């Protein structure tokens, strides 16, 4: 595949950046001020939207909780709310849901709404990023304790197939946009800056991520990964801490394409298969020195697999694998790594299409929609 054809697939990055810039100032200011003033933020999302939220809001200089934390004070938000009120003065339920109809976030929003209206508490606000302000979650913006930011990016569904809805792979632009928005919101809050700083940071970061993505796509490592992905092979993506969310977002997206050709993409862990010759392992690590990842690398190569990595430093992983280095602080690395990996399914579909392999209609329509 030629260099020019590979580069073509990164044009969607411009749409991501444009959508983030087009959020309404009035909506975002109140949203930002709620997060700035909060002494506890609870993150709620599902799937890749959850991962984008976790990556973006990770490493924040505030108490940030998720409802799956071992020490979360309740089985649900209704049980936890009275306990949280005793510990904190201002609590934000921060929701990421492109459709505004995602099951778990919708339930949590409904439960907290009932609690706030039943008790009259002023300690909670519900702040959500959605693509549809008329959705169940989007309508929380009508409440005095609710605020939404409308972020475009979900696009139109195909009339000829229900597979977009079933498989959900049309959310790429929304999810990357929400990641960028959360990332720069976190950085501005950590610096005690005002909300306008977020968009200054987005301007600066837009140039950085565009260059990173293009450099990665045009690298020998990237083309080698695409070559391996089109073969009969399985791919496992691995990382620990925030890197696991980067791996999860990428694995879910690649799985749609790999499964369509009879293969699989996995997230590292107990459900990932033991490696076999020809399988791919892709590791994400800022330090490049994380011991479990080094052990995974050793095991994979022992069985004849291929190992690649994205790291933030010259390190053991960068030296012992085919590696792409993203020089950055640990606060920025995971967002940038997510963007760098985002074109992989696009270019895999492009390669398979060039080979004449017939792929499901929903995958081809998704590919055309992102590339148009």
pLDDT above 90 as % of the chain: 80
**DSSP-assigned beta bridge partners for residue 44:** 95
Residue 271: its pLDDT value, please?
A: 86
Count how many residues are written for the chain: 372
346-371 pLDDT, tens digit each: 899 889 988 888 888 877 877 766 66
Quote the DSSP letter at residue 7: H
Residues 99-113 have a mean pLDDT of 96
Task: Answer with the residue of higher pLDDT: 80 or 260.
Answer: 80
- Distance set, CA 197 to CA 32, 93, 183 (Å): 11, 23, 12
Q: What is the mean pLDDT of the chain?
A: 91
| 213-371, CATH topology level | Rossmann fold (3.40.50)
3-210 CATH pick, 3.40.50.10490, 3.40.190.10, 3.90.1150.10, 3.30.565.10: 3.40.50.10490
Q: Give the burial class of 331: count Cβ atoms within 10 A of its Cβ; 0-12 exposed, 13-18 middle, 19 or more buried.
A: middle
State how far the Cα of 187 lies from the Cα of 336, in Å rounded to an integer. 14
- Lowest-pLDDT range, 131-140, 227-236, 280-289, 347-356? 347-356
- Average confidence (pLDDT) over 231-241: 95
Convert the pLDDT of each residue in 147-201 to its tens digit: 999 999 875 544 433 443 344 454 688 999 999 999 999 999 999 999 999 999 9
Q: Which residues contact 245 (CB under 8 A, 6 or more apart)?
A: 51, 54, 55, 58, 239, 334
3-state SS string over 22-36? CCCHHHHHHHHHHHH
CA distance 270 to 15: 37
- 8 pLDDT above the threshold of 70: no
Run of H or E including 64:
strand 63-66
* Better pLDDT: 156 or 131: 131
Instruction: Please report the pLDDT score of residue 160 as a whole number.
Output: 38
For residues 230-257, average pLDDT: 94
Least confident of 19-28, 69-78, 238-247, 349-358: 349-358
- Cα–Cα dist 279/38, whole Å: 46
Residue range(s) occupied by CATH 3.40.50.10490 in the chain: 3-210, 213-371
Q: DSSP of 101-132, one letter per residue?
A: --HHHHHHHHHHHHHHHHH--SSEEEEEEES-
What is the chain's alpha carbon radius of gyration, rounded to the nearest angstrom?
21
């Amino acid at each position: 595949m030629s260099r020019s054809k590979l580069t073509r697939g990164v044009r969607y990055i411009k749409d991501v950046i444009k959508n983030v810039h087009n959020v309404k100032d009035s909506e975002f200011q109140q949203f930002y001020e709620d997060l700035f003033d909060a002494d506890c933020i609870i993150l709620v999302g599902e799937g890749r939207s959850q991962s984008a939220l976790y990556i973006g809001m990770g490493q924040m200089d505030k108490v940030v909780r998720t409802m799956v934390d071992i020490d979360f004070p309740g089985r649900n938000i209704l049980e936890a709310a009275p306990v949280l009120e005793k510990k904190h003065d201002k609590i934000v339920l921060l929701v990421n849901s492109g459709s505004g109809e995602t099951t778990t976030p919708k339930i949590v929003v409904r439960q907290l709404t009932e609690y706030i209206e039943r008790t009259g508490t002023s300690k909670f606000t519900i702040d959500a990023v959605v693509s549809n302000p008329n959705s169940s979650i989007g309508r929380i913006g009508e409440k005095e304790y609710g605020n939404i930011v409308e972020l475009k990016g979900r696009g139109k569904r195909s009339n000829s197939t229900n597979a977009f809805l079933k498989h959900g792979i049309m959310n790429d632009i929304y999810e990357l946009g929400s990641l960028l928005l959360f990332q720069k919101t976190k950085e501005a809050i950590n610096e005690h800056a005002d909300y306008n700083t977020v968009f200054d940071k987005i301007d600066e970061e837009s140039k950085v991520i565009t260059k990173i993505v293009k450099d990665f796509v045009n690298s020998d490592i990237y083309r080698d990964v695409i070559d391996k992905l089109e073969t009969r092979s399985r791919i496992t993506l691995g990382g620990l801490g925030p890197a696991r969310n980067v791996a999860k977002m990428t694995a879910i997206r690649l799985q749609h394409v790999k499964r369509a050709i009879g293969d699989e993409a996995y997230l590292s862990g107990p459900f990932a298969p033991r490696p076999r010759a020809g399988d791919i392992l892709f590791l994400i690590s800022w330090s490049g020195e994380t011991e479990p990842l080094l052990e995974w690398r050793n095991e994979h190569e022992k069985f004849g697999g291929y190992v690649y990595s994205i790291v933030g430093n010259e390190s053991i992983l960068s030296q012992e694998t085919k590696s792409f280095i993203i020089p950055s602080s640990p606060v920025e690395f995971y967002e940038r790594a997510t963007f760098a990996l985002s074109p992989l399914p696009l270019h895999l579909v492009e390669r398979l299409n060039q080979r004449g392999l017939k792929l499901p209609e929903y995958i081809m329509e998704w590919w055309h929609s992102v590339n148009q």
